[in-house]
Chains A and B, each alone.
Chain A
Amino acid sequence: MVITNTTSIKYLKTIGIVNNGFNGRGFANPYDVAIGPGDNIFVLNRCDPARRNAIRVGVCNLDEEYLYEFGYGFGDGDGQMMLPVAMAFDAEGRLLITDEHTNRITIYSDEGEVLGKWGQKGESEGEFNGPAGIATDSSGTVYICDQRNHRVQKYTADGMFLTQWGSQGTGPGEFNLPWGLGLDAEDNVYVADWRNDRVQKFDSNGHHLKTIGDSGVKQEQLIRPSAVSIDQSGNVYVADWGNERLQVFNSEGKVIASLRGEATLSDWAKDFFESNPDEMETREISDLNPDVPDHLNDPYHISSQTEPFFWGPVSVRIDDNNRLYVVESNRHRIQIYEIE
């Protein structure tokens, strides 16, 4: 448990196991999570190239019941995906998914029916070059990071272009390959300005308000932040992807917590070991939190050898019940925390 003056962040559980195909519970390189109707947990599985036909959204609940999944295979046909990045439910309960290869936003029902799509490759209004993070506000307005155009675009719920801001650069209001995006209660927009190693805060019309973090490994620093989410108190949760950690900033931009991850076995993982006692026996005599030698002593390598730690944290989301979800692409799981 991490406790600050005003906030405690308590580890709750881990959900996940590797699953390469359309055959039930498990995830394949999950890239984002969205909490939908009935507090069900929707997980976007990006999949690796060899298993790309199983690109899908899997749906489970907090009790680790795997409910259903949907996907239409790899491709640019209706409903299909190639390199999906992020997703968000809109005010009408529709699920919007970005795809950085097809340059498209596809709208699905919560059961996977394809309801619509928009976007094509380009630099003009309504066009994308690598749409990435996505968030929606209570009125249905949609905000999307347009990665390789180094900008944020703002749309109506049905994909009508409203405005945009940003260009490539390092100054305030400029971006370098932005990735994730989150909104606070006032609809201010927080952008994970990935290759500038910072988070930028804007009002809903793109006026720059604040910059959080700079480049590095120290407390107030970030390396390649991938995602950002804001709790009801205004604390900012940043998936510090390059440092393989979660940094929590207060509204003044000071770090109030730093999490490295503490994953435990999911129910699905426990079931696996029941069927594979030889692996469990040798696992029990192992140290899964080892000291690694100097030449591997960087966050990426440490996480690759330390199973409980975050490895490839690509998304962080907070639900209405103050539960925090950290999605780990390289570990095919979600670590869930409670914010109090």
Chain B
Amino acid sequence: MSQDVSLMAHLMRRAGFGATRNELDEYLSDGYEATVDKLLDPGESDHMPDDLIRRYHVDQSELRQLDGAGAYWLYRMLTTSNPLEEKLALFWHGLFATGYAKLNQARALLNQIDMFRKYGFGSFRDLLVELSRDPAMILWLDNNENHKEAINENYGRELLELFSMGIGNYSEDDIKECAKAFTGWTLKNAEYMSVRASKDSIWPYGRIAWHYEYRADDHDSGEKKFLGEVGNFNGEDIVDIIVTQKPTARFLSTRLFQYFASDEVDDDGVQVIKAMMDSYFESGFKVSAVLRTLFNSDYFKSEKCRYSRVKGPVESVVGTARLAGSYQEPTLDVHSLWAQTMFMGQGLLAPPTVEGWHEGVEWIDSGSLVERINFAAKELSDPAKEGVQDIIRRVTAGYIDLIHAENLVDSCLDFMGPIQVGADTREGLIEFAESQGKLHLKNGKTDEDGSAQVARLIGMIASTREYQLA
């Protein structure tokens, strides 16, 4: 197995949703660092066009309900040419967790995801300002109830605790002053939209989408003292102060490290996080600079970093479907794909609380593991899927009439990833392959039974412990 291929596959498992061998070959022709640069500055993405989706799926045109909105985002993840754009949007979705349950407004949530795409790579300052203006976030954390005469601290508190600095780095007074600065930041027709959201009202003519509104007459323009600074701060001034704080750099770098590099932070990881913090300040708070430092670090490229994260359910579902080549055009049962993310514990656009999901090994319990394995095995053991056919073609290339079990297993592992498995797992896979009987080829190709035989082995590999790791 080529080290270059193995490293590139590792990068794409983390900075994307895995990659097919065709995609890996393209990335390899650019080289590692150029690929990192391209991932971080992707330009316009190619993906399934909105018009095709909207014509076929009425629910994804109207976006009245959660399932259609989740499926709509999944299409983007499944077909995008810029996987990091979606992977990073998913990171922000987990960090700035905003859920459908309270809002009952799927279009607003997808507009928030669009905002993550637009600002997610750039200045953390701009991202936090846009987040504070985001109508879904405003209603989610009650900033529409944060008035000049009666503040509501909810958004101010979470902005500091969960979104930027982390607990212990500010006072209760800072929270109050922060909340005052964001008074007047609300959404258009806030009173009507709030009533509709609370009643989940779809009447008379479906949902009415939202946008931000600033009400100057409801803003507290008085003097505020925040993190030691004094002024007639508005919300943007507060964000300006937040992003210059060292705890903010540490908070953001650590969260990015845990999402893209390793669930656990060891001593070497601490050093990488320090370098990421330096990049944060040197670049003027640019997220892409922080990620570039991470992806190009020796730590990230090391063997130690590989397979050190449990795939999140969405990563798992999207990665498997992309490998299988599924859902590349509008498909009636795409909603079941979104439902899979719910069954596995990560309902897209439906985080359980503002704290998002508990990640790492907490993704796995007996119920969700069964869902994962069943889904991956079913997708990848289907020889009719284009992606599976491509793996089969590659596996059998170079053989004339017979592939021994050991070679078949190694070759499948190679072209499904490459995926590194332990000796026990490999042994078990070889036993399974042998139990299927010898794989005979005709003129170097499998017949229908032979393809099904290889596909069953591919499905079995998707059931292994190692396949659940990124």
Contact = CB atoms under 8 A, between A and B. Distances in A.
Given A48-B64, A49-B67, A194 B55 contact: yes
A265 interface: yes
Contact of B58 (A48, A272, A276, A301): A48
A128 to B, nearest CB: 16
Interface in B321-371: 332, 335
A273 B192 CA distance: 13
A139 to B, nearest CB: 31
A104 interface: no
| Interface SS of chain A | loop
B204 interface: yes
Interface string A131-175: 000000000000000000000000000000000000000000000
B188 interface: yes
Contact of A296 (B51, B56, B195, B211): B211
Contact of A49 (B54, B68, B204): B68
B206 A18 contact: yes
A250 interface: no
Interface centre among A50, A101, A224, A333 (most CB of B within 10 A): A50
Interface residues of A, number: 52
B55 A50 contact: no
Contacts of A31: 58
A78 to B, nearest CB: 20
B65 interface: yes
Given A29-B58, A279-B196, A304-B107, A18 B205 contact: yes
A82 B58 CA distance: 12
A282 B195 contact: yes
Nearest to B201: A279
B62 interface: yes
Given A48-B58, A333-B205, A101 B332 contact: yes
Nearest to A101: B332
A41 to B, nearest CB: 17
A15 to B, nearest CB: 11
Contacts of B191: 282, 285-286
A18 B202 contact: yes
A179 B208 contact: no
Contacts of B195: 278-279, 282
Contacts of A16: 204-205
Contacts of B61: 312, 329-330
A332 B206 contact: yes
B170 interface: no
B212 interface: yes
Contact of A330 (B55, B62, B118, B211): B62
A312 B188 contact: no
A330 B211 CA distance: 19
A258 interface: no
A168 to B, nearest CB: 15
Contact of A263 (B64, B189, B205, B211): B205
A49 B335 contact: yes
A331 interface: yes
A68 interface: no
A48 B209 contact: no
Contacts of A224: 51, 55
A256 to B, nearest CB: 27
Contacts of B107: 304
A311 B62 CA distance: 9
Interface stretch (A115-123, A287-295, A315-323): A287-295
B465 interface: no
Report the interface size class on chain B. 35 or more
Interface centre among B51, B55, B68, B211 (most CB of A within 10 A): B55
A164 B335 CA distance: 35
B210 interface: yes
B199 interface: yes
B61 to A, nearest CB: 6
B192 to A, nearest CB: 4
B49 to A, nearest CB: 9
Nearest to A330: B62
B205 A331 contact: yes
A285 B63 CA distance: 25
B189 A286 contact: yes
B58 A269 contact: no
A292 B192 contact: no
A221 interface: no
A299 to B, nearest CB: 12
Contact of A18 (B56, B203, B212): B203
Given A83-B332, A304-B107, A50 B205 contact: no
Contacts of B67: 49-50
Contacts of A307: 205, 208
Contact of A179 (B55, B204, B211): B55
Nearest to B133: A293
Given A49-B68, A292-B211, A330 B206 contact: yes
Contact of A17 (B55, B65, B204): B204
Contacts of A305: 188, 208-211
A61 interface: no
A165 to B, nearest CB: 22
B221 interface: no
A49 B199 contact: no
B466 interface: no
A25 B206 CA distance: 15
Contacts of A265: 204
B188 A331 contact: no
A238 to B, nearest CB: 16
Contacts of A332: 205-206
Contacts of A288: 189, 208
A269 B58 CA distance: 22
Contacts of B202: 18
Given A242-B51, A293-B211, A17 B62 contact: no
Contacts of A301: 209
Interface string A1-27: 000000000000000111000000000
Given A194-B55, A265-B204, A285 B65 contact: no
- CB-CB nearest 3 A-B residue pairs: A269-B204, A48-B59, A304-B209
Given A18-B204, A226-B55, 14 more contacts: A47-B58, A49-B59, A49-B332, A83-B56, A101-B332, A194-B55, A195-B51, A242-B51, A269-B205, A282-B192, A290-B211, A296-B111, A305-B188, A329-B61
6 contacts: A17-B204, A224-B51, A224-B55, A286-B191, A307-B208, A312-B62
